[in-house]
Amino acid sequence: MKNWPLFAIISIVAVSASFAKAEGPLRPRTALAFKYNYQPSFIPLATEKVWGLDPDELNPHRSRWVLQRQTDLVGLQSKKLADGRFGVTAIGIAAAAKSYMRPQGEWYRPLSEFPCTEKPVDWFATEDGTKKAVETAAILWRDLMSGRRMNLEVQLDGISATTSEIALLLARHLFQTWLRQLDETWRTTSYAEVRRDEWKLYAELAKATQACPKPKGVARAVPWVKMMEPVPTGGPPKLLVRAPARRWSGLYSVRLNLTIGTQKLNGQFLLDSSAPVSIVSPAWLENQGFLPIWTQIQGGRAERVAGVLWSHSGLARRGIVETVEMSGVSLPLREFLLYDTDFFNPPENVASCCDGVLGMDFLSNYVVEFSPGPPAEIKLWERANYHLPDQGYIWTELAAERREFKGLVSSCGLFSARSELKGVRWNTASTAAVQVHTPYKTTVKKAPVWKLSCDGGVLASELKVGLPKFVTNGSGLDAKSPATDIGMGLLSRGSFVFDLPHGRIWLSPESSGAHIPENRSGLSLKYVLKKGDRVLIVDRIQRGTPAEALSKAGLKVGMELTQVNSRPADELDQWEIEQILSGAHGEQVTFRWDTASGTKIAPLSVSGS
């Protein structure tokens, strides 16, 4: 089986697993021995060091400590069963952990700054408290593995396969699934328990030293931008990939090549910062001749898929592929959720999008630049020592929401003359410019104009904000914190860079000083289907606007336009039409349409948009 295609091996594993049977009392269970070794390291922790010690950590720039963990199944062998089939046996589990801490510095605050709150806040920690926290983490990891050891024993004892090789393959798969589930518990339940115990220690010390006579929460939060490592310096950053991108209502997609077996599949994948895991459409796989079950990881738990791209949330299982490439460069992605990704359909769009989604498991491995062009591009930069030469870019801290991931957040805020809405989520899957979350509906109605500010600097002013048209359970648009989603309507006015490995978002002068153009021409156009063809028709011509000039030239509501700025109308999307009418591509637009007496061409001024 060494040279067999991966999807064929997975199919055999799936079939074999369906015939696996437990022998009950005829097959006595052999307990797995458990050996655990923990030791602290005296090597100081740095952000770029976190990448190697804990590759799955989404906020390496915020990590004050890391527990490097390694777990192996020792002595795994196949054995022949009484019925002639094959099972497995193993000696035990060998686990090791090593802890690393940040050195003295701005990472740690004096006890006098303790905010005296009941719930932990992320910006406060002391060096002694962090040392205690990582020791507690090492104990909890040990106890978690030991406590779930029997679950692994039962699963291994249930293996009954037709060949020795398949039995071992099943065992390794079960062990990796067991480790994955442990890690999920560790990053949620165990990590929260560590932080709660650490916070109790601070509260007890503060009480003993009378550090909390002040009202709770009166201490001023220290922004993460003041605790982060400085921007790396050195030579110019290294460009790894320069991939052509396609825009869908302002969002970005790129082409990927996926290898399954010996066949390469080519598809469009949308970049979505609100998706924790990348996604492949099962319908796309079927259209390429592959049943989704061929790639599905057997035994894995269903995971919830949610976000602003879906009108409802659902459950999906993971699938595995052999290679993923973007513009000829291999990406470190092997697993995808199998879920529908059918967005942006005709007639508003030339074609449907997309065949999949690239989520946080992709974004966290690179520095990713979104460049609107023209032509639009996605650039991947080497993350080590990444910095931007002085091109007028500004940056602010960027972090993944830890408790329940819904996107990338910053401590920016929206301000009006009377109100402040704290916290923003940067959302590459949102077509809107600024969306305030539903709990602040009344506040939004009281102030028509807002400004966006980060770290004391104004990124955008005279903003007109909106509320989401619909809110799903997993979109996060009903959350009180953060209060606002910043979408591609604002972000993509210029280039911007997600440097998640260092915890930064870089904004170009065009993006940070964004003027969001509006269609004030008085002309409204829309795409409809006529006899199976997409056609662009006039929806409305408003009196007293520049669009009246088109009426005088003979253009009427309901008439079809054949060209816009010399481009065939059927090659454009609704979003591109709105961009043109808002003046994003020039102060004058020309239209062409056919009449009974011939073809007409007329200009429209959009300079006031």
Give the pLDDT of residue 515: 66
Better-scored residue on pLDDT, 216 or 401: 401
pLDDT tens for each residue of 70-97: 999 999 999 999 999 999 999 999 999 9
Give the pLDDT of residue 214: 59
Cα–Cα distance between 489 and 433 in angstroms, integer?
4
Residue 60 identity: P
Average pLDDT over residues 484-491: 89
Cα–Cα distance between 607 and 337 in angstroms, integer?
46
pLDDT band at 310 (very low <50, low <70, confident <90, very high): confident
- Bridge partners (DSSP) listed for residue 271: 358
In terms of DSSP H, where are the helices of 209-268?
Answer: none
pLDDT tens for each residue of 223-242: 899 999 998 887 889 999 99
Same domain flag for 57 and 99: yes
Q: What is the CATH number of the domain that holds 582?
A: 2.30.42.10
Residue 90 identity: A
Cα–Cα distance between 356 and 338 in angstroms, integer?
9
Same domain flag for 71 and 193: yes
The answer to the question of residue 186 being in a domain is: yes
Give the pLDDT of residue 475: 61
Cα–Cα distance between 604 and 551 in angstroms, integer?
11
Interstrand relation of 484-486 and 496-499 (parallel, antiparallel or unpaired): unpaired
pLDDT above 60: residue 269: yes
Cis peptide before 375 (omega within 30 of 0): yes
The answer to the question of residue 228 being in a domain is: no
pLDDT above 70: residue 433: yes
Give the pLDDT of residue 129: 97
For residue 96, what is the enclosing H or E element?
Answer: strand 92-101
Better-scored residue on pLDDT, 448 or 503: 503
Across 35-39, 210-214, 227-231, 542-546, least confident range:
210-214
Give the pLDDT of residue 235: 81
Residue 415 identity: F
Give the pLDDT of residue 405: 67
Q: Where are the beta strands (DSSP E) in 389-433?
A: 394-397, 399-400, 408-415, 420-426
Both tokens assigned to 515: 């003027």
The answer to the question of residue 314 being in a domain is: yes
385 CB-near residues (< 8 Å, 6+ apart): 48, 232, 233, 234, 237
Give the pLDDT of residue 440: 81
The answer to the question of residue 93 being in a domain is: yes
Cα–Cα distance between 401 and 409 in angstroms, integer?
7
Neighbours of 314 (CB within 10 A): 13
User: C-alpha angle with apex 432: 341 to 418, nearest 5 degrees?
Assistant: 145
Cα–Cα distance between 88 and 516 in angstroms, integer?
63
Query: Are the C-beta atoms of residues 534 and 423 closer than 8 Å to each other?
Result: no
Residue 172, burial from CB neighbour count under 10 angstroms (0-12, 13-18, 19+): middle
Same domain flag for 191 and 95: yes
The answer to the question of residue 370 being in a domain is: no
The answer to the question of residue 118 being in a domain is: yes
8-state DSSP, 195:
H
Same domain flag for 43 and 186: yes
Give the pLDDT of residue 472: 56
520 closest CA partner among 581, 589, 461:
581
Give the pLDDT of residue 6: 44
Q: Which of 479, 511, 543 is the last residue of a domain?
A: 511
DSSP string, 533-571: EEEEEEEEE-TTSTTHHHHHTT--TTPEE-EETTEEGGG
Average pLDDT over residues 136-143: 97
User: C-alpha angle with apex 485: 245 to 379, nearest 5 degrees?
Assistant: 25
For residue 325, what is the enclosing H or E element?
Answer: strand 323-326
Both tokens assigned to 199: 């916070």
Cα–Cα distance between 61 and 107 in angstroms, integer?
10
Same domain flag for 40 and 182: yes
Same domain flag for 431 and 456: yes
Average pLDDT over residues 244-253: 94
Across 16-30, 39-53, 171-185, 455-469, least confident range:
16-30
pLDDT band at 10 (very low <50, low <70, confident <90, very high): very low
Cα–Cα distance between 535 and 34 in angstroms, integer?
68
Neighbours of 162 (CB within 10 A): 14
Same domain flag for 66 and 114: yes
Query: Are the C-beta atoms of residues 337 and 316 closer than 8 Å to each other?
Result: yes
pLDDT above 90: residue 497: yes
Better-scored residue on pLDDT, 217 or 248: 248
pLDDT tens for each residue of 314-355: 888 888 899 999 999 999 999 999 999 988 888 988 888 999
pLDDT band at 470 (very low <50, low <70, confident <90, very high): low
Give the pLDDT of residue 393: 87
137 closest CA partner among 51, 61, 40:
40
Neighbours of 223 (CB within 10 A): 16
Give the pLDDT of residue 1: 43
Give the pLDDT of residue 299: 59
Q: What is the CATH number of the domain that holds 267?
A: 2.40.70.10
Give the pLDDT of residue 12: 44
Mean pLDDT of the chain: 87
Could you give the 3-state DSSP secondary structure of residue 46?
coil
The answer to the question of residue 477 being in a domain is: yes
Cα–Cα distance between 494 and 438 in angstroms, integer?
28
pLDDT above 80: residue 306: no
Alpha-carbon separation of residue 263 from 258, 269, 324, 327, 332 (angstroms) = 8, 18, 12, 17, 19
% of the chain with per-residue pLDDT over 70: 89
In terms of phi and psi (left: phi > 0; alpha: psi -120 to 50; beta: otherwise), the region of 197 is: alpha
pLDDT band at 608 (very low <50, low <70, confident <90, very high): low
Same domain flag for 527 and 497: no
Better-scored residue on pLDDT, 465 or 589: 589
pLDDT tens for each residue of 11-49: 444 444 444 443 444 444 668 999 999 999 999 999 999
Same domain flag for 528 and 495: no
Dihedral angle of Cα 173, 177, 179, 180, to the nearest 10 degrees: 140
Across 42-51, 248-257, 363-372, 403-412, least confident range:
403-412
Average pLDDT over residues 494-503: 94
Query: Are the C-beta atoms of residues 450 and 434 closer than 8 Å to each other?
Result: yes
The answer to the question of residue 473 being in a domain is: yes
Same domain flag for 77 and 190: yes
Query: Are the C-beta atoms of residues 527 and 351 closer than 8 Å to each other?
Result: no
Q: How many domains does the chain have?
A: 4
Cα–Cα distance between 481 and 399 in angstroms, integer?
14
45 CB-near residues (< 8 Å, 6+ apart): 53, 63, 64, 65, 66, 100, 101, 102, 103
Distance of CA 267 to the CA centre of its chain: 19
Same domain flag for 159 and 49: yes
Across 236-250, 472-486, 497-511, 513-527, least confident range:
472-486
Average pLDDT over residues 190-211: 93
Average pLDDT over residues 203-220: 76
pTM: 0.86
Could you give the 3-state DSSP secondary structure of residue 185?
helix
Domain containing 244 equals 239-362
pLDDT above 50: residue 7: no
Residue 406 identity: K
Same domain flag for 407 and 542: no
Dihedral angle of Cα 563, 252, 424, 457, to the nearest 10 degrees: -80
